[in-house]
């Protein structure tokens, strides 16, 4: 499907015709036709409206020119299509014939968000840019933010300033919220858990509502002037990175998953070659 109309002048017949076809496609694939994702530069597919409102937004603000794969509107992603082609090729092979591609770097069909993240990693920062990609630019900017302990408001202003200096149609997010969403597919979420300043306990489970450590009687919250408790401001916080999202990433590639589970199919002849060989390893498998 020709999508070059997205780069045409909004007033041109070519743009209007292509945009109408886009709305028909989006409406035909929408479960709720009153809440279709708006692809205008204002909404960037984050909000849903009727086609009438979307028309107003696009003709006032323009459409996302780099939204060439309409994955948010029901079109299969390009990488999924390639994965399906590989799958069909593998299914067509004679029995017993293995395919290197089938064991390669293809991802599971349920990994759409991660695949889009991979696609972002290959996107140039702006059309014609050969020095860096969108992903590399964001990583460098976040490193700069951490190095200089940059405030959120300051970081957002930096993004806006750099975006103004870059050519039109650049991929740089306009604020820190959009920038963080670019990394969401990596599963980098975390939990903040209050902890005793003396490392006695974590305020979770039976101690979730406690305000004083049962072991050392230290306040859970910081103390201000005259030892007045600052309610809501924890004295110490543990940043916990859940392991399950990381396991999901590790098992998204069939090749990586096979490498991680090799011990399940290892040779068992009574000789101990690996920690998984002793009988005590069964406790690990069962628990």
What is the structure's pLDDT at 1?
61
Q: Cα 275 to chain center, whole Å? A: 35
Helix (H) or strand (E) holding 14: helix 13-29
What is the structure's pLDDT at 112?
58
Query: Is residue 202 predicted with pLDDT exceeding 90?
Result: yes
As a whole number, mean pLDDT of residues 153-175 equals 88
As a whole number, mean pLDDT of residues 176-180 equals 83
- Domain ranges across the chain: 4-73, 90-184, 191-240, 253-286
As a whole number, mean pLDDT of residues 250-278 equals 76
What is the structure's pLDDT at 96?
43
Query: How far, in Å, are 34, 46, 178 from residue 51 at the CA level?
Result: 8, 15, 24
pLDDT tens per residue, range 36-71: 889 888 788 888 888 888 988 888 878 887 787 888
pLDDT tens per residue, range 64-104: 877 878 888 888 755 444 444 444 444 444 444 444 444 44
State the pairing for strand pair 229-234/221-223.
antiparallel
Query: Is residue 195 predicted with pLDDT exceeding 90?
Result: yes
């Amino acid at each position: 499907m020709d999508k070059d109309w997205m780069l045409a002048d909004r007033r041109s017949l070519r743009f209007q015709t292509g945009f109408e076809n886009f709305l028909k496609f989006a409406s035909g694939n929408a479960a709720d036709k009153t809440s279709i994702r708006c692809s205008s530069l204002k909404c960037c597919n984050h909000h849903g409206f009727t086609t009438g409102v979307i028309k107003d937004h696009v003709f006032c603000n323009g459409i996302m020119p780099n939204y060439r794969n309409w994955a948010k509107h029901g079109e299969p992603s390009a990488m999924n299509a390639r994965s399906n082609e590989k799958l069909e090729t593998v299914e067509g092979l004679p029995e017993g014939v293995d395919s290197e591609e089938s064991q390669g770097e293809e991802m599971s069909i349920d990994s759409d968000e991660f695949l889009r993240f991979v696609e972002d990693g290959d996107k140039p920062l702006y059309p014609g840019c050969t020095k860096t990609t969108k992903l590399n630019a964001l990583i460098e900017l976040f490193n700069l933010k951490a190095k200089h302990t940059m405030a959120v408001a300051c970081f957002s202003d930096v993004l806006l300033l750099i975006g103004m200096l870059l050519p039109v149609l650049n991929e740089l997010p306009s604020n820190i919220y959009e920038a963080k969403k670019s990394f969401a597919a990596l599963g980098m979420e975390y939990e903040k858990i209050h902890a005793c300043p003396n490392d006695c306990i974590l305020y979770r489970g039976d101690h979730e509502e406690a305000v004083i450590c049962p072991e050392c009687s230290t306040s859970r919250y910081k103390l201000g002037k005259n030892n007045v408790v600052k309610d809501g401001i924890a004295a110490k916080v543990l940043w916990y990175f859940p392991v399950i999202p990381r396991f999901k990433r590790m098992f998204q590639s069939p090749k990586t998953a096979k490498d991680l589970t090799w011990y399940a199919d290892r040779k068992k002849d009574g000789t101990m070659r690996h920690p998984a060989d002793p009988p005590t390893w069964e406790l690990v498998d069962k628990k």
